[in-house]
Amino acid sequence: MTSGAVPPSAPMSATTISDASLPFATRLAIITRLFAIQASWNYEIMIGNGIGFCVEPALRLLPGGKGGEAYREALARQSRYFNAHPYLSSFAVGALARAELEQQPPARIDRFRTALCPPLGSVGDQLVWVGLLPNCSFAALFLFGIGASPLVCVLVFLLLYNAGHVTLRLWGLQMGWEKGLAVASALAHPILREGPVWLARSGTLLAGAAVPLTVMRLVDGGGLPRTGITLLTAAAGAGALVWFHGRVEGWRLALLAGFAALVLFLLRHA
């Protein structure tokens, strides 16, 4: 069955959903809502309402359509407590939409929702807050350190960060829909398993290069500082310690290298 064979308002049966793809209009509605998944965040159910809001377009395909008994029960079930990283929650949205359209037992869906929270939360924090965000920030800072204008740095940061999280949301929704209740296999993907480690290493190297260059530009007031190559080499070497040893202290060493270089520069030009 193709997406064009099922109108957006037509219900899908449990016998055909396994071979079907989401209608384009339904998929587009879900994607659009993913960007507002935290709009109703609260301490009681976290992003539970957001999950229900995102899954709702797919629930209209249940027997009876919007307003039917199956629709109401599924929407209430999907709007309960859920706590995970907002970007990786797209995995849950896709998988839960499929589970509901396959009319899986409610108890099984509830257990599945509960099991998804810890991995989507921990992996998302490591991948995005500890990996993607610092990398984008230090990449923009590095450009500033070698002479780029503040506007260019801001635009580069926005481009990199938004490209990263939008891609992650779209990919997660597709994986969730394809895998359904077996989405745990997608969570073992190298991007999610090894991505945080590689992003941490690259972030450390960027930090080691960007911080001293930025400080020197602020002190020198020019483009690439006169001692920029030396500073870049020293800071990259400090950051490389994390690459070889996987030690968080590498961040501190990179900052220390930049600070030491700044002190030497000030003493030299005093």
The span from the first CA to the last CA of the chain, in angstroms, equals 76
Whether the per-residue pLDDT at 109 is higher than 70: the answer is: yes
- The SS3 of residue 46 is strand
Band of residue 189 on the pLDDT scale cut at 50, 70, 90: confident
Whether the per-residue pLDDT at 171 is higher than 90: the answer is: yes
Q: φ, ψ for residue 46 (rounded to 5)?
A: 55, -120
Whether the per-residue pLDDT at 54 is higher than 70: the answer is: yes
Whether the per-residue pLDDT at 201 is higher than 90: the answer is: no
How many whole angstroms separate alpha carbon 73 and alpha carbon 66? 11
- Quick one: pLDDT at residue 73? 93
pLDDT in tens, 230-268: 565 556 655 655 555 555 444 555 555 556 666 656 655
For residue 220, CA distances in Å to 29, 174, 212, 215, 224 come to: 51, 49, 12, 9, 9
Whether the per-residue pLDDT at 3 is higher than 50: the answer is: no
Mean pLDDT value across residues 165-192: 89
- Quick one: pLDDT at residue 30? 96
Whether the per-residue pLDDT at 77 is higher than 50: the answer is: yes
- Quick one: pLDDT at residue 45? 93
Which residue ranges make up each domain of the chain?
A: 3-117, 119-268
The chain-wide mean pLDDT, for the chain, equals 80
How many whole angstroms separate alpha carbon 120 and alpha carbon 88? 6
CA within 13 Å, CB half, 135: 23
- Quick one: pLDDT at residue 257? 58
Band of residue 225 on the pLDDT scale cut at 50, 70, 90: low
Q: Which of residues 264 and 141 earns the better pLDDT score?
A: 141
- What pTM did the predictor assign? 0.77
How many whole angstroms separate alpha carbon 88 and alpha carbon 92? 8
Close Cβ partners of 136 (under 8 Å, ≥ 6 residues apart) = 157, 160, 161, 164
